[in-house]
Structure 1
Amino acid sequence: MSSAIIRRAAVIASLSFAIWGCAQTQPAPAPLPPTTAQAEPAKTVSAEEKALIEAQVQTELQNTDCSKCHDTQPADIKRNGGKHQTEIGCLDCHLEHLPLGTKTIPQCSMCHAPDTQEHFKLPNCLECHRNPHTPLDVTVDDVPPISAGCKTCHPEKGEELAKFPSKHTALNCTFCHPTKHKQIKKCLECHTPHADFMVYEDCLACHQPHSPLNIQYADETPSKNCGACHDTILSQLLNSKAKHGELTCAFCHKTKHPTVPNCSDCHKNPHDNAMMSTFNSECLKCHRNPHDLIY
């Protein structure tokens, strides 16, 4: 073996010994402080527990589950949900749930298809039905003229307004029915009564709001109501000594204004045939005024 090889081996041995010595004299590093709580030891799940967990995961949500998080909406539906309370449940409209579901908020047309009813063709359902959980709380205080929309549900009112023209015909529905659906203004909020004693109920005894000039009344309507407009005639009738003075206005002017009866409706054969053939039905040639008969 050459002297060069011997010297190289001696150097390597010396370096190895030096490195080993350093390693033996360095202090051990301090342990790191704990950063998390120590976990509980894992345990084996029994077959019964496993079955219970799987059943809970696979069970579908029920309508009663919704109220565990959402208390306002069920209360609204109970208060005035209409068919949203009696015919459907939460899951009929809310098919999925966030964050995974994308069909959480339904379209009204999902149930109220435009081709099934004229009213469902109207745009912007929430403009009037602002809370879908109380669909019968209809608000109309901040919407454009909606007479056309109203008539999709109340066509008979539109037809009545058109058939019996009056100043009411030119008004928008919300003029008399402001703010809330089914709210009705009192007649005397706009109109002056015919007489001081009259109240709202007296107006409706003769005038219907959608055909106010088509005046109709019951047989028992008091004559003083008629006298509010026909005071001179009523005064003549009340002061008459004839039997007509004992009758009410509605007895002769039945049901509809301005009904004018024929005398023969009550007086079938008031005179002999000779007189009747001479005067025929021209009773007032002699008796002049039916409200103050000359006899």
Structure 2
Amino acid sequence: MKRIKRHLSVFIAVAFIAGIWGCVEPTNSSMVTSVAQAKSRDKEEKSPYEQDVKPLTTLDCARCHYSVFEIIRDNGGKHQLDCQFCHETFHTYRPDKNWSDVVPQCTTCHGEIHGPTFLDCLSCHGNAHMPIAGLTNMTTLEKDCANCHTAQSAEVTQYPSAHSKVACSDCHHTQHGYKPDCVECHEQPHTDYANNDSCMGCHPVHKPLEIRYTEETPNGVCATCHEEINSRLISTHKKHASLQCAYCHQETHGNIPQCQDCHGLPHSKGMLDKFNGCTDCHFDPHALVLPGH
């Protein structure tokens, strides 16, 4: 009995110690690991003066120049480049140094893109960080439009119209490149086809009286000005009534075709010699009514 009690006491003691060791050991192991990791970090983390300096990124610049970053992000266009692409040197401004010696020169990349006359880029492009959206000073641009837009300027001058009497900025207002809707000025156009594609299908914008059209132009467009002629045409049952106006009056407004272009010589030479022309008998080509009919 005593032997059993002795063995039981030993067993309990061993179990007690084992239990304590089981609770303590993980904690000690975790502590050992943490200490080891801390020592490892101490070895890895060098002093700033022991590390290589990495080049600034655009996002680094944005931390201080965020308003500029926003402008480029939203309206930068082709200027959405790394900051250092243009600003090869930076933070070098001194009051005694000319500002133009510090900021990058537009001509470095763009050359004399608008010729030798326009070298003060910022006089038109108000903000280099948004080169197109910044073209808003239309008063400044107006007097120089013809220097770049020579073809358009020549058309307006060569083909006088109401458009010749207005300034470029009266139509192309707000910003450079703005193209207005025709109905901004022409509030009551002469057709129901009131959109830019329809208007300019006949009226070239800088020479609007030089009317052009295709054979598919609806007769209703012509009828808005030529109402009486259209009425005569649709009242007849002759073959001409089935044609588009532009089929005969091709390409150029006011073009009057020769009957022979389509009909050739439908009568004998002897008969034709008795008359001055087709309309001596057929009178109106839009009605084709013969005498006594």
TM-score (norm 1): 0.70
Relative distance call for 1:104 and 1:145 in structure 2 (3 A) is closer
Residue 158 (structure 2) aligned to one of 141, 151, 163: 163
Whole-angstrom CA distance in 2 between matches of 1:145 and 1:53: 53
Relative distance call for 1:164 and 1:46 in structure 2 (3 A) is same
Deviations 1:73-103 (A, max 9, x none): 3333233323322xx5322322322256765
Amino acid at match of 2:217: T
2:207 paired residue number: 211
Q: Alpha-carbon deviation of 1:192?
A: 5.0
Deviations 1:135-188 (A, max 9, x none): 11143355246242x334433222322332222123221010111122223223
Deviations 1:39-83 (A, max 9, x none): xxxxxx999936x635534x4434443233323333332333233
Deviations 1:214-251 (A, max 9, x none): 10012111111111111111111111222111212111
Task: Kindly indicate which of the two structures has a greater share of residues assigned to helix.
Answer: 2
Amino acid at match of 1:139: L
Contact 1:145–1:172 (8 Å) recurs in 2: no
Is 1:179 paired with 2:177? no
Relative distance call for 1:147 and 1:270 in structure 2 (3 A) is farther
Residue 89 (structure 2) aligned to one of 93, 96, 103: 96
Deviation larger for 264-273 or 157-166: 157-166
Whole-angstrom CA distance in 2 between matches of 1:187 and 1:117: 29
Whole-angstrom CA distance in 1 between matches of 2:177 and 2:114: 21
1:108 paired residue number: 106
Q: Alpha-carbon deviation of 1:284?
A: 1.1
1:254 paired residue number: 250
Whole-angstrom CA distance in 2 between matches of 1:60 and 1:274: 96
Is 1:241 paired with 2:237? yes
Relative distance call for 1:181 and 1:165 in structure 2 (3 A) is same
Residue 66 (structure 1) aligned to one of 43, 61, 71: 61
Relative distance call for 1:267 and 1:143 in structure 2 (3 A) is same
Is 1:283 paired with 2:278? yes
1:271 paired residue number: 267
Aligned length: 243
Contact 1:194–1:229 (8 Å) recurs in 2: no
1:49 paired residue number: 46
Runs of 5+ consecutive residues of structure 1 not aligned to the other structure: 1-44
Higher CA-based Rg: 1
Amino acid at match of 1:156: A
Amino acid at match of 1:181: H
Residue 121 (structure 2) aligned to one of 125, 134, 141: 125
Identity %: 36
Whole-angstrom CA distance in 2 between matches of 1:253 and 1:147: 39
Contact 2:191–2:221 (8 Å) recurs in 1: no
Amino acid at match of 2:209: L
Q: Alpha-carbon deviation of 1:267?
A: 0.4
Contact 1:141–1:178 (8 Å) recurs in 2: no
Residue 136 (structure 1) aligned to one of 132, 144, 147: 132
Relative distance call for 1:272 and 1:193 in structure 2 (3 A) is farther
Runs of 5+ consecutive residues of structure 2 not aligned to the other structure: 1-41
Relative distance call for 1:268 and 1:189 in structure 2 (3 A) is same
